[in-house]
Homo-oligomer: A and B are copies of this chain.
Amino acid sequence: MRRIAMLAVCFGLIATPVLAQSKIEIQQLNDQWSAAFNKGDAAAVAAMYAQDAYMLPAGAPMVKGRAAIEGFVKQITQDLGDFKLTTLDVKPLGPDAALEIGTATFKHKGQAGAVKYAVVWQKEGGSWKLLQDIWNSDK
């Protein structure tokens, strides 16, 4: 009985933090993304995307693949900065993929802006890469 109780405690301790851990891990990746973007380091931003990733920007045509994403990021970092990403929810999609829902604030030519976003993270060679990145505005 005590053994079962111990097991239950262990499962409780393990089961909850798995998701909490994912959320913390994903938030850290987002902080890394923002730091790179805010420095205008398009190569470091692009390195966080999967080789065949899709970026679907609000207000611009879709961009496919890491190289094209680097070119696009290089272009938009000229007017955009001060990014802060907030992970709201992380849903695991099997062992090697996860859906993240979040919000972002930024400055566009000095003006404050905000969007909501949905990204899909996928493990590529053991590390999480962005496979899908899409955002839009509430307004």
Q: Could you tell me which A residues sit within 8 Å of B by CB distance?
A: 52, 54, 56-62, 89, 91, 93-97, 99, 101, 116-118, 120, 122, 131-132, 134-139
Number of copies: 2
The answer to whether B56 and A99 touch across the interface, beta carbons within 8 angstroms, is: no
Q: Helix, strand, loop or mixed for chain A's interface?
A: strand
The answer to whether A95 and B94 touch across the interface, beta carbons within 8 angstroms, is: yes
The answer to whether B139 and A136 touch across the interface, beta carbons within 8 angstroms, is: no
CA distance A139 to B96 in the complex (A): 34
Given contacts A118-B54, A131-B99, contact A138 B94 (CB under 8 A): no
Given contacts A58-B58, A94-B97, A131-B99, contact A136 B136 (CB under 8 A): yes
